[in-house]
Amino acid sequence: MTVSLRLLAVTLLCCYATLLPAQKIQTVDQIIDAKIATVLLYPLVNGSHNDPSLTLNPPVISLDEQIPLQLEFDDLTANYRSFRAKLIHCNADWQQSVLNDIEFTYEYNDNPITDYQVSLNTKIPYYHYRFVIPRVKLPGNYVLVVYDERNRNSIMFTRRFSTYQNKISVAASVHFSSDPSRQFSDQQIDMAISYKGYQVISPQDDFKVVIRQNYRDDRVIRGLRPTNVQAFDQMLEYRLIDLSNTLPGGNEFRFFDTRTVLSRANYIDRIDRNADRNIAYVQIDKPRSQGAYIQSDDFNGLFVIDQRETGNGATNGDYIETVFTLQIPELPGVDLYVNGAFNFWQLTERNQMTYDAILGAYRAAILLKQGVYNYDYVVKTTTNPPKVDENYIEGSYSSTENDYEVFVYHRPPASRADQLVAYQRVGVNKRK
């Protein structure tokens, strides 16, 4: 090896060794850089970028189908920045696995993000980036890490996704809780797992089952044990009577439409068109925890980006200061938040509300890209530890339409990490 080649190899190894100390990365959905906004990750069905509804699908794909995952995000600095993307493999508990990159990737695990566009005719300028997630070898959990190429320790955001191979089958059903005291508020998930033809040593112990409601990582059930093991038929049944397989049904989400600023769309009270930005006031909300359930259609907490005049929300959609108002007396000892997928279901300063004594209501102003958004209101106590209650304002009803996902993980013999061997989606109270 020549001296120059040896120096190049050493340089690459040093760079790789200093790249993104994974043990320090939080494997959750989060935006770290305040100038990064509207991070979308979704299956790119039929290779189309023009269908806004594609973003309503969760970032969960089959390894047996040629459907890639598409990443989109905006940089509000309005200056070009070079970004790179790296994948981290995780076990069923979303903790980083011990696998080396070569064990789960086909290519070098450090990719530049080179597809970008500049926003058009927007009051708030931004750069819009796109990136297709590289194929992976193994079914399981992954975290996409995007960082600044000029500063490898400067992480912009992290985003979870999963890949699966259905090596076993899952049959799941959702209905109201079997507990009479909770049958009008909670939903119960019963299921059975058939593992015929699949090698497993101790099926009642080796399978890890995770149930997720409305694609939310803050609404999951873990640690379920089968109630019946049919060894001869190779079947596991999960029909628990301790209510560990139940979740509050919640309520249909509130929504508003800001796809246009030329007129008031659904649930927008007024729009102020200032020189530097547009301000949209969502109609005043009130609590819904009292009274009967009211049927309505929603996106189960998700949102779509769109711009009505051009049909191209990616680069023509402007950022609007969106003002939320909840008319309710001041609540002592709690903090109140506007919540939704737009904030990864996290309760942060960005979506926290403050009480306005003159209005007699809570208010929050959040910068959101044009589109149709679902949201609700959440209270969190200031006690230690704090308690989060989404039903205090919104109520909870077993008649609510929800989506559920069932993830089944297994670590095959001689394998060093958990694999996602079954994935099933099931809806309840579907009306369309």
Mean pLDDT of 234-262: 96
Position with higher pLDDT, 121 vs 6: 121
pLDDT of residue 4: 46
Band of residue 47 on the pLDDT scale cut at 50, 70, 90: low
The whole-number pLDDT of residue 46 equals: 78
Task: Output the pLDDT for position 6.
Answer: 42
Please check the confidence at residue 154 and state whether its pLDDT lies above 80: yes
Q: Is it the case that residue 358 has pLDDT exceeding 50?
A: yes
User: Which residue segments constitute the domains of the chain, with CATH numbers given?
Assistant: 19-164 (2.60.40), 169-249+400-428 (2.60.40), 254-394 (no CATH)
Encode pLDDT of 304-352 as tens digits: 999 999 999 999 999 999 999 999 999 999 999 999 999 999 999 999 9
Distance CA(417)–CA(86), nearest Å, equals 19
| Percentage of the residues of the chain whose pLDDT score is greater than 70 | 94
pLDDT interval class at 66 (50, 70, 90) = confident
Is pLDDT at 244 greater than 60 in this prediction? yes
Q: Say whether pLDDT at 9 is over 60.
A: no
Asked if pLDDT for residue 129 goes beyond 70, the answer is yes
CA dihedral (406, 411, 413, 416) in degrees, to 10, reads 160
Token pair of 146 as six digits: 């995007």
Instruction: Quote the distance between the C-alpha of residue 353 and its chain's center.
Output: 22
Asked if the model's pLDDT at residue 7 lies above 80, the reply is no
pLDDT confidence of residue 432: 67
Closest listed residue to residue 402, CA positions, set 253, 230, 270: 253
Q: What are the tens digits of pLDDT across the range 363-395?
A: 999 999 999 999 999 999 999 999 999 999 999
Whole-model pTM: value is 0.92
Stretch 198-216: mean pLDDT, rounded?
95
pLDDT band at 135 (very low <50, low <70, confident <90, very high): very high
Give the CA-trace dihedral at 28, 33, 35, 40, to 10 degrees: -20
Confidence of residue 193 (pLDDT cuts 50, 70, 90): very high
pLDDT digits (tens, 9 = 90+) for 261-271: 999 999 999 99
Has residue 13 got a pLDDT over 60? no
- Residues 271-291 have pLDDT tens digits of 999 999 999 999 999 999 998
